[in-house]
Each structure stands twice: as structure tokens, then as C-alpha cells.
Amino acid sequence: MRPETPARSEEALYFGEAFDPRELFGRVAPLEIEIGSGRARFLVAAARSNTTHDFLGLERSLSYYRVCRERVARCGLANTRVLRADGRLFAESLVPESVLAFHVYFPDPWPKKKQRKRRLLDAVTLELLASRLEPGGTMRIATDHPGYGRAIGSLLETVGALERLEWDALPPPPPSNYELKYQAEGRPIWRFLCVKRKT
């Protein structure tokens, strides 16, 4: 298989630059970020249902980034953008307490023991994401992988800035492609909703 090769500079991974959402969206609005947007189903549906918020999708895979970018472009939503970026590295470019919500739906579970260090959601990343949330901001996570689900649940208990809530404590988000697929297959889904504590 030939390696993915970016054809244009916009397809290069976003790296090292301080991120200013005003430059990308042309306005100041509450910012919601989805890490791993895949086919953009959640991103488009969420942006359509809440035009007062800005929605940014991050996708590292070049092939999925292209799919996501094209679907967002076809929808013509002024409050939606997509960047090709590594979620963990991109979070470092964000100003602390600048994001209203993070959405992480069905990240790669890297199920083998030797692969687990490659998982997106570890203690360091969860602390980083929590630091970028506004007080009262939310983080939603879903996975169909039991081992990853148990690990995420344990790790979230160590992030003092976050308070766990029941998934239905707030209106649920639109489903992603993977959620619809896994629900149809009858797979159990591990869901997590956290709110940034107000100090």
C-alpha cells in the first residue's frame, strides 16, 4: 500500500502554532472540538443544530480528513471547520480554558498490550484536555472497547478538575457513524460525560 501523501499544504499536519479560533471562524463564539471526526456525521449534525457555537473537527488520518473536509464543505456551514491534526498535539496549542466542549467518540482502542501506549486518552492527555476546558465546559467520550472503557473510567477519576455526570444529565449529542453501526450490531457502548469544575 502506498503511503498517504499530502497534495496541498492544508493537508499537512497542524503542528506547533498557537491556535486562534477567531482567525479560522472569523468571529468569537463558544468553541466545541471533536477529536477524530472520521466521516463528519457528528460534526455536521451538531453544527446544524447549534449555529451559535463554532465546531472544529480534528482528523489525523489523511484519507478520513479528506472525506470529512469534503462533507463539511458540501454542507456549507459557516460554523464548522476541519483541520488535519493530532488531537494531543493540537490541544497543546490551545489557550487554557478556551474550549466549551471536547468530543471524543470511538478513538482507536489499540487493544494489544504493546499498543496501549499509542492510545489517545491517557492520564496526561485527559489532564491536558481538562486544562483547556472553560469552567463548566464538558467532555464527552464513547468507546465500544470494554478494556479501553474501563481504563478511561479509572483515569477520569484521577482528573481532579473534572466531575463525572450521568450521560443523560445533559442533552445527548448527535450519534457518530460508529455509534450507529455499533448500536445496530448490539455492542455495549461505554459513555462518559464530565464537566469542568468551577473554582
Q: What is the pLDDT of residues 53-79, one digit of tens each?
A: 999 999 999 999 999 999 999 999 999
Q: What is the pLDDT of residue 115?
A: 78
DSSP-derived 3-state class of residue 125: helix
Tens digit of each residue's pLDDT (9 = 90 or more) over 81-101: 999 999 999 999 999 999 999
Alpha-carbon gap, residue 141 to 164, rounded angstroms: 11
Catalytic residue among 20, 54, 108, 168: 108
For the question of residue 144 being annotated catalytic, the response is: no
Tens digit of each residue's pLDDT (9 = 90 or more) over 4-52: 555 557 788 987 778 999 999 999 999 999 999 999 999 999 999 999 9
Contact 138, 196 (CB under 8 A): yes
Contact 46, 176 (CB under 8 A): no
Residue 1: band (very low, low, confident or very high) from pLDDT cuts 50, 70, 90: very low
CATH class of the region 26-196: alpha beta
Tens digit of each residue's pLDDT (9 = 90 or more) over 159-192: 999 999 999 999 999 999 999 999 999 999 999 9
Q: Residue 93: left if φ>0, alpha if ψ -120 to 50, beta else—which one?
A: alpha
Task: Name the pTM for this structure.
Answer: 0.93
